[in-house]
Amino acid sequence: MKDSDQPRPRSREELWDLFIDELDRRGQEGNAADVIIPATLHPEAPSGKRFGELTRIDVATLAQIGGSLGRRGDIIKDMWLRTQQKLKAQARAAKGSTPS
């Protein structure tokens, strides 16, 4: 078996790009909040959490990780803010439709 037959581990940059692509795709479908932060992204990442459950501190950490990888870390903040707005709107709508 040649070394080229073994799949190589993905770089952190590739993992970041795949994570952002997944957030974007799922966001277009309306469910970015359900994306799980990958465990292999970075040791300081809030791994295993749903994107919609992240705190501002978690998002700031992810933005720093993105920046350290040479990526635009601010994009994660924008995606998170849009996700939070959507979650709040859904919660208001659900509260308004609940009979008293």
Contacts of 85 (CB under 8 A, 6+ apart): none
In a domain, 5, yes or no: no
Percent share of the chain, pLDDT over 90? 72
Position 6 pLDDT exceeds 70: no
pLDDT, residue 43, reads: 93
Number of domains into which the chain is organized: 1
- In this structure, of 5-19, 22-36, 61-75, the range with the lowest mean pLDDT score is 5-19
Residue 97, domain member (yes or no) = no
Residue range(s) defining the domain that contains residue 48? 10-89
Contacting residues for 38 by C-beta, under 8 A, at least 6 apart: 15, 18, 19, 45, 47
- Look at residues 41, 37, 82, 84 and name the one whose alpha carbon lies nearest to residue 65: 41
